[in-house]
Chain A
Amino acid sequence: MPLAQELKPLEIDAYVDAVSLDAAVRALADGAGTPVAGGTDLWIQKDLGKRAYGRRLVNIRRVAALGGIAEEGGRIRIGALATMTEILESPLLLRAAPVLPATADRFASVQIRNAATVGGNIANASPAADMVLPLLCLDAEVELARWHENRIDRRRLPLAAFFAGPGKTRALPGELITAVSFDRPAAGSFGAFQKSGPRPALEIARVALCIAGRREGRRLTSVRIAAGAVAPTPIRCPRTEAEIEGVALDDAAIARALESLGREIAPIDDVRGSAWYRRHLAAAFLEEELGRVARS
C-alpha cells in the first residue's frame, strides 16, 4: 500500500510515546498536546471532525504510574489508565464498590471495554458518560497533574465540580487526569446502576441513573443519586437525595422523590430520545430502585 493512502499531511507535528508521568506532563505542558490512552472516543470524534488533535499526540498508555486499582488507608484509588474491563474484573472493587463493576458491565462492548479507560471516560465529559455516575455517587475526587514551574503540580477536585459542559472540563491547559479516588464505602452500602436501551451492548444511554447509600429496613441513608443524559453534564440530584434521606419509603414518599427528580433534571430532545421519554425513564429507574427498598 502506498503510504500516501495512510498519512494525512500536517495533522500533528509530533507523536510522543511517554513512559513516565514526568515525560507525559512535560509533553503536555504548553497545552498544545492531546493525551491518548484507549482512544475509543478520541479517534472517532477526530474522524468525525468533532475534535481536533493538538500539535502533539501524547501516548500515555505506557505510564505505569497511571495504572492500577488499589486501596490505601481506607481510600480506593483507580488509576486513570484502568480499563473498563479491569474495573469489571477487579476483586477489590467487586468487594468494596460493586456498583463500579456493575456499571462497567453495561459499558459499550467487550472490545471497547478492553481499551476504554476511566480517565478517558471522565475527560471526554459526555453528559451520558456511564462510569461517571457511580463515581459521583461515591463522592469521588479526580486527581490531576501538570508540569508547572519545572515540577509536577498535583491537585484534587471533586468529580462533581469537574465538568463544565458537554465535552468541557475544568482541567487547566496541560493538565492530565492521573486517577480517581474515593473513600471505601462503609460496610452495608449498596449501589445500583440503571441504563436505558434494549441493546445489551454498544448503547449510548438515553438516560442512566445511579443510586447508592445504606439500607436500613425500608429507609435509605447517605443517599446519593446521579443521573446521566438529563443535563449538559452528568449530575447529582441533591434535593431528591434529601427527599429520600432517612424516610420510611412508601408510595407517597416514592411519589415525592419522583417529583423532586423531575424538577432536578433537564433533559433535551434529540435523535436518541425525547425529553419526555428521558423523564419517563429516569422516573421509572428511580421508582424501581426505591420500590425494591420499600417492598423489602
Chain B
Amino acid sequence: MNKVIPKHSFVGTRAVKLDAPDKATGRTRYINDLVLPRMLYAKIRRSERVHARILRVDTAKAKALPGVVAVITAADTPEIAIGVLKDNPPLKRDRVRTIRDEIAAVAAESEAICDEALRLIEVEYEDLPTVFDCTEALQPGAPVIHANRPDNIAMAHQFDHGDVAAAEAASDFVVEGAYNVHYVTHCNLGVSCCVADVDVEGRVTLYSQTQYPFIMKMDIAPSLGVHPGDLRVIQPPVGGAFGSKLDVYPYEPICVLLAQKTRRPVKLVFSREEEFVASPTRQPVEFRIRAGMKRDGTLTFRDVDTLLNNGGYTSWGATTPFVTMRTISSHYRVPHVRYRARAIYTNNPYAGSFRGYGNVQATWAVETHMDKMAEVAGLDPIAFRLKNANEPGDVTPQGARLANIDLKGCLRIAAEKSDFLRKWAAYRAGRAAPGRIKRGIGIAASLHNAGGAKIHKSDGCGTILKLDDYARATVITGGSEIGQGLDTVIAQLVADELGLALRDITVVMNDTATGPWDVGVHASRSTYIAGNSARRAARKARAMILDEAAKQANVGVAQLDLRAGFVVQADNGVAIVAIDKLLRQMHFAGEDAKLVMVTDYYEPPSENEDKNHVGDMSAAYSHAAHVAEIAVDTRTGEIKVETIWSVQDVGRIVNRNGIEGQIEGGIAMGLGYALSEELVIERGRVRNPSFRDYHVMTAPEMPKIDMTFLETGDAEGPAGAKGIAELPTIVIAPAVGNALYNATGVRIDHPPLAAEKVARAIWERAQRSTRAAP
C-alpha cells in the first residue's frame, strides 16, 4: 500500500492510433470488405450525355439476364429528391443534366452480372443545349438547367460591412485581381461504397461511409418512405472521406431502394473511374478581388465577387461561400468589406464539400492578392502581413471574437525559422542571373474555425461512459472516426481523467443505434466538441469514484487523485486503493449498489450567424502560416518543393502522432492542389478519371517538413486543444505560388501550377522581352 505513483498525462504524448495495429496487419475490415448472407451487388447505369431529355429507358433485356434480381428506374420509384435544394432525384426521370446522372440501377448475384446487365439497358436521349461556364450560364437565353431557377443561380449570398465606396475614395492604392481555382476531387483510397439491409418490418440498416450519420437519417429516410427512427446508420472503417461524405449522394438511396425491392442485403461499390467521375469535387470558383490600402500598407477595404460552378445539382458545396465569406471578411484586419457569391448551375459534374470547405479557394485568392499588395506598398511579404494581422481581442466584421489567436506569432516564427527575408531578397535578385534552375520562397497564412462551427441548431456531441468491474472504461461517443484520429484523442483525454492506461479504454463509435447525437465530422470540430464531451463525461465518472474513495478514506475529494489504476493521495502519489477494487465495492454493495455510468452532452459556446451573416459561430479560431521554398526548372516548368515550414496555432497538442499526421497529410493534399491535381473537365466530361492522369502527390515528391506548434492553450478546448485538421490544406498552395513569383517573377493566378503552365508562362515572358528588345 505504500506504492508511490507519479502523475502522468497521455495528452501531449505520441499515442499509437488505436486502430493502427489492425490496419498495419491487415485485420481491419473496411466497409468495402463487408459481406452479408444472401447479399446482392448493385451497379448504376449512368448517363452518356451531359444534357439530354430521356425519351425511353428499356430494361427488359437486363431483367431477363440470369442472375439479375432487380432493375429499377425512376418509373419504379417514388418522386424523391436529395441535396441541399432537393433538386437531385436519385434516379433521373425525364432529363439528365450531367455525365454522372443515374438512370437505372441493377441488383444481381455478382458485380460481373451487374456490368453485363448495365450494357443491356437501352436508353434513348434527345440532346439539349449545354452550358459549362458560369458567365455563359448567366447570359440571357442560356440553357436553363432547372426550370424552377430560370436564371441558373442555384444559391446567392452576400455580406456588407462598413462603407466600401468611402473606403475606396480614401485609399492610396487599389489592387485588382482575378483568381480562377480549379476542379479537384478527394481521391479517397476507399472508393464510395454502401450496404443496405432491410428487415422484415421495413427497418433499414445502412452501412455507410457518411461523416454525419445522425443528420443523414433525416436527409435520407423520409425520401425512402422510412421513418428516420427506423434507419440505423453504421459506419465501418473507411478508406478516407475528407469531406466527401458530408452529404447524401444518389447511390445511397438507390442501394436502399434495391434492398427494399429485393428484400436482400445489397452492396454498391464504385469503380475507380466512377469515383473520379461520379463523386463530388471541390468547387471551382472565379474570384474578382479589389482591395485598397493606405500608402503605409494598411488595408482599407476588400470587395470580392465570386462565381461558383455548382454543376447540375446542389450539394453542400453550394454553401461553401459561407466559409469563403469568413476568410474575405476576417482574415487580416479589413475595416470595410463587400462580398458577393453566386453558385451557378451548369452541365458540369457537381461540387460538394471537401476539407477546407471554401477556405482553400479563398485563401489562394486572398494570400496571392496580399503578396501583390505588399509589392505595391513596397513592403516585404512578412512586414505587410504583420501590419494587417489580427490581434487577440479583435472582433471581425462578421462578429468572430478572436480571443485567443496568434497570427503574428505564426508569421514571425515561420519567417525566422525559414530565414525568409534573407532568402526572399537573394532569390529575387537571382531572377536575372543565368541558370536554368531558380529558387524561390513564399509565405501564406490562413484563418479557420477551430472550435466547431454552429451551422445547425446545435453544434453538440453526446457521450455515454461506463466503467466495468475491472476498471476498463467504455466510451460511447456520437463522434465519428473516419481516419482522423478521434478514437485515440478520446482515449487519451479519458485516460487522463480516470487515471487509466490507453489500453483500458474502449472507444465505441460509428453506430447511430448506440451513439448519442453528434453533428458529424466537419469544420475541424471532432477533437474540440466530441473530445470535450468525452472529457466532461470522464470527469463525472471521476467524481463518482473520488467521492466514494474520499468517503471510505475519510478525506476530502481534493486530497485524492486517480493515477495508473489507483486512487492516490494527490500531494505525494501514495496509493490508497486500486480503482477496480473500489468499483467492485461500489457495485456489489447491496441496496447501495452503484455502477459508474455517466452521460454528457456538450454544446459549445458559439452562435448561429444572424441573417446578416454576423455571429461568433465557432468557440475558437486559429491561424497557420506556411513557408514554401522551391526550385523551379525554368525550361520544363517543373517545381520541386524542397522545404515547408509549417507554423500552426494548435491550442495544445493532444496526440503528437495524430497532429503530425494531419499536418503532413494536409500539406500533401494542399501541394496536390497547388501543383499537380486537376480534374480536367471538358464540355462536361471528365478527361482524366484515373490516378495515371490525375496526379496526387506521391511519397518521393513530398518536401522536408519543419513543423512548429504554437501551444496557446484554449480556455474552452479539451486540455486546451483547438481543431487543427483543415488549416494545413488551406494554407499551402498560395505559399507555393508566392514562391514561384519570388523565383521567376512569373505570377500564376489560376492553380494548379502544373509544369506546362509554368513553362508556358516563363517562355511567353521571354518571347515578350525578346520582342521588346531593340
User: By the criterion CB–CB under 8 Å, are A204 and B109 in contact?
Assistant: no
- Report the Cα distance A273→B757, complex, angstroms: 10
| Contacting residue for A277 out of B67, B676, B692, B759, CB 8 A | B759
Q: Which residues of B lie under 8 Å from residue A5 when comparing CB positions?
A: 41, 110-112
User: By the criterion CB–CB under 8 Å, are B693 and A271 in contact?
Assistant: yes
User: By the criterion CB–CB under 8 Å, are A280 and B110 in contact?
Assistant: no
- Report the Cα distance A248→B695, complex, angstroms: 41
Q: Which residues of A lie under 8 Å from residue B700 when comparing CB positions?
A: 200-201
Query: Does B687 lie at the interface of the complex (its beta carbon under 8 Å from any beta carbon of A)?
Result: yes
Query: Does A266 lie at the interface of the complex (its beta carbon under 8 Å from any beta carbon of B)?
Result: no
| B620-646 interface bits toward A, Cβ cutoff 8 Å, 1 = contact, 0 = none | 000000000000000110111000000
User: By the criterion CB–CB under 8 Å, are B112 and A9 in contact?
Assistant: yes
User: By the criterion CB–CB under 8 Å, are B35 and A1 in contact?
Assistant: yes
Q: For A8, A196, A199, which residue has the most chain B Cβ atoms within 10 angstroms? A: A199
User: By the criterion CB–CB under 8 Å, are B635 and A284 in contact?
Assistant: yes
Q: Which residues of A lie under 8 Å from residue B691 when comparing CB positions?
A: 202
Query: Does A198 lie at the interface of the complex (its beta carbon under 8 Å from any beta carbon of B)?
Result: yes
| Contacting residue for B756 out of A2, A199, A273, A287, CB 8 A | A273
Q: Which residues of B lie under 8 Å from residue A197 when comparing CB positions?
A: 638, 755
Report the minimal beta-carbon distance from B637 to chain A, rounded to whole angstroms: 8
Q: Which residues of A lie under 8 Å from residue B41 when comparing CB positions?
A: 5
User: By the criterion CB–CB under 8 Å, are A198 and B760 in contact?
Assistant: no
Query: Does A274 lie at the interface of the complex (its beta carbon under 8 Å from any beta carbon of B)?
Result: yes
User: By the criterion CB–CB under 8 Å, are A198 and B640 in contact?
Assistant: yes
Closest to B109 in A: A4
Closest to B687 in A: A271
Query: Does B554 lie at the interface of the complex (its beta carbon under 8 Å from any beta carbon of A)?
Result: no
| Contacting residue for B112 out of A7, A201, A273, CB 8 A | A7
- If A4-B67, A200-B698, A284-B636 touch, whether A277 touches B756 (CB-CB below 8 Å) is yes
Q: Which residues of B lie under 8 Å from residue A281 when comparing CB positions?
A: 636, 759
| B657-699 interface bits toward A, Cβ cutoff 8 Å, 1 = contact, 0 = none | 0000000000000000001100010000001100111010010
Q: Which residues of A lie under 8 Å from residue B493 when comparing CB positions?
A: none
Closest to A7 in B: B112
User: By the criterion CB–CB under 8 Å, are A201 and B698 in contact?
Assistant: yes
User: By the criterion CB–CB under 8 Å, are A198 and B676 in contact?
Assistant: yes
Query: Does A263 lie at the interface of the complex (its beta carbon under 8 Å from any beta carbon of B)?
Result: no
Closest to A278 in B: B756
Q: For B112, B113, B115, which residue has the most chain A Cβ atoms within 10 angstroms? A: B112
Closest to B692 in A: A204
Q: Which residues of A lie under 8 Å from residue B676 when comparing CB positions?
A: 198-199
- Report the Cα distance A198→B698, complex, angstroms: 10
Q: For B680, B693, B756, which residue has the most chain A Cβ atoms within 10 angstroms? A: B756
Query: Does B701 lie at the interface of the complex (its beta carbon under 8 Å from any beta carbon of A)?
Result: yes
User: By the criterion CB–CB under 8 Å, are B638 and A2 in contact?
Assistant: no
| Contacting residue for B755 out of A48, A196, A201, CB 8 A | A196
Report the minimal beta-carbon distance from B550 to chain A, rounded to whole angstroms: 57
Q: Name the interface size band of chain B.
A: 20 to 34
- Report the Cα distance A274→B760, complex, angstroms: 10
Query: Does B763 lie at the interface of the complex (its beta carbon under 8 Å from any beta carbon of A)?
Result: yes
- Report the Cα distance A1→B111, complex, angstroms: 12
Question: Total A-B residue pairs with C-beta atoms closer than 8 Å?
Answer: 66
Report the minimal beta-carbon distance from B276 to chain A, rounded to whole angstroms: 12
| A171-195 interface bits toward B, Cβ cutoff 8 Å, 1 = contact, 0 = none | 0000000000000000000000000
Q: List residues 78-125 of chain B with CB under 8 A from any CB of chain A.
A: 109-113, 115-116
| A1-39 interface bits toward B, Cβ cutoff 8 Å, 1 = contact, 0 = none | 110110111000000000000000000000000000000
- Report the Cα distance A230→B360, complex, angstroms: 37
- Report the Cα distance A197→B755, complex, angstroms: 8
Q: Which residues of B lie under 8 Å from residue A196 when comparing CB positions?
A: 636, 755
User: By the criterion CB–CB under 8 Å, are B756 and A198 in contact?
Assistant: no
- Report the Cα distance A288→B760, complex, angstroms: 18
| B727-759 interface bits toward A, Cβ cutoff 8 Å, 1 = contact, 0 = none | 000000000000000000000000000011001
- Report the Cα distance A272→B635, complex, angstroms: 17
Report the minimal beta-carbon distance from B106 to chain A, rounded to whole angstroms: 14
User: By the criterion CB–CB under 8 Å, are A198 and B112 in contact?
Assistant: no
Q: List residues 406-444 of chain B with CB under 8 A from any CB of chain A.
A: none
User: By the criterion CB–CB under 8 Å, are A199 and B110 in contact?
Assistant: no
Q: Name the interface size band of chain A.
A: 20 to 34
Closest to B695 in A: A199
- Report the Cα distance A280→B763, complex, angstroms: 9
- Report the Cα distance A72→B680, complex, angstroms: 50
- If A271-B680, A276-B760, A277-B760 touch, whether A202 touches B109 (CB-CB below 8 Å) is no
| Contacting residue for A202 out of B639, B688, B692, CB 8 A | B692
Q: Which residues of B lie under 8 Å from residue A276 when comparing CB positions?
A: 760
Report the minimal beta-carbon distance from B728 to chain A, rounded to whole angstroms: 21
Report the minimal beta-carbon distance from A280 to chain B, rounded to whole angstroms: 6
User: By the criterion CB–CB under 8 Å, are A2 and B110 in contact?
Assistant: yes
Report the minimal beta-carbon distance from B672 to chain A, rounded to whole angstroms: 11
User: By the criterion CB–CB under 8 Å, are B756 and A274 in contact?
Assistant: yes
- Report the Cα distance A281→B639, complex, angstroms: 15
Q: Which residues of B lie under 8 Å from residue A202 when comparing CB positions?
A: 691-692, 698
User: By the criterion CB–CB under 8 Å, are A199 and B636 in contact?
Assistant: no
- If A5-B110, A9-B112 touch, whether A200 touches B701 (CB-CB below 8 Å) is yes
Closest to B271 in A: A47
- If A7-B112, A200-B698 touch, whether A272 touches B760 (CB-CB below 8 Å) is no
Report the minimal beta-carbon distance from B772 to chain A, rounded to whole angstroms: 21
Q: Which residues of A lie under 8 Å from residue B636 when comparing CB positions?
A: 196, 281, 284
Closest to A291 in B: B436
Closest to A276 in B: B760
Q: Which residues of B lie under 8 Å from residue A273 when comparing CB positions?
A: 756
Report the minimal beta-carbon distance from A166 to chain B, rounded to whole angstroms: 16
User: By the criterion CB–CB under 8 Å, are A2 and B635 in contact?
Assistant: no
User: By the criterion CB–CB under 8 Å, are A4 and B113 in contact?
Assistant: yes
Q: Which residues of A lie under 8 Å from residue B112 when comparing CB positions?
A: 4-5, 7-9
Q: List residues 279-296 of chain A with CB under 8 A from any CB of chain B.
A: 280-281, 284, 287-288
Report the minimal beta-carbon distance from A279 to chain B, rounded to whole angstroms: 11
- If A202-B698, A271-B693 touch, whether A2 touches B109 (CB-CB below 8 Å) is yes
User: By the criterion CB–CB under 8 Å, are B701 and A272 in contact?
Assistant: no
- Report the Cα distance A198→B638, complex, angstroms: 6
- Report the Cα distance A192→B763, complex, angstroms: 25
Q: Which residues of B lie under 8 Å from residue A288 when comparing CB positions?
A: 635
- If A274-B756, A277-B756, A277-B759 touch, whether A198 touches B692 (CB-CB below 8 Å) is no
Report the minimal beta-carbon distance from B636 to chain A, rounded to whole angstroms: 6
Q: For A48, A196, A271, A288, which residue has the most chain B Cβ atoms within 10 angstroms? A: A271
Report the minimal beta-carbon distance from A52 to chain B, rounded to whole angstroms: 14
- Report the Cα distance A276→B67, complex, angstroms: 51
Q: Which residues of B lie under 8 Å from residue A4 when comparing CB positions?
A: 67, 109-110, 112-113
Report the minimal beta-carbon distance from A195 to chain B, rounded to whole angstroms: 11
Q: Which residues of A lie under 8 Å from residue B759 when comparing CB positions?
A: 277, 280-281
Report the minimal beta-carbon distance from A7 to chain B, rounded to whole angstroms: 7
Q: Which residues of A lie under 8 Å from residue B680 when comparing CB positions?
A: 271
- Report the Cα distance A196→B635, complex, angstroms: 11
User: By the criterion CB–CB under 8 Å, are A198 and B110 in contact?
Assistant: no
Report the minimal beta-carbon distance from B45 to chain A, rounded to whole angstroms: 15
- Report the Cα distance A272→B755, complex, angstroms: 11
User: By the criterion CB–CB under 8 Å, are A271 and B688 in contact?
Assistant: yes
Report the minimal beta-carbon distance from A107 to chain B, rounded to whole angstroms: 14
Q: For B67, B639, B675, B692, which residue has the most chain A Cβ atoms within 10 angstroms? A: B692
**28 contacting pairs across A/B (C-beta < 8 A):** A1-B35, A2-B109, A4-B67, A8-B115, A9-B112, A9-B116, A196-B636, A196-B755, A198-B638, A198-B640, A198-B675, A198-B755, A199-B695, A199-B701, A201-B698, A202-B698, A204-B693, A271-B680, A271-B693, A272-B693, A273-B756, A277-B756, A277-B760, A280-B760, A280-B763, A281-B636, A284-B636, A288-B635
Q: Which A positions have Cβ atoms within 8 angstroms of B?
A: 1-2, 4-5, 7-9, 48, 196-202, 204, 206, 271-274, 276-277, 280-281, 284, 287-288
4 further interface pairs, Cβ-Cβ under 8 Å (given A4-B67, A196-B755, A280-B760): A4-B110, A9-B116, A198-B675, A200-B698
- Please give me the 7 A-B residue pairs with the lowest Cβ-Cβ distance, nearest first: A4-B110, A8-B112, A284-B635, A277-B756, A198-B638, A200-B700, A271-B687
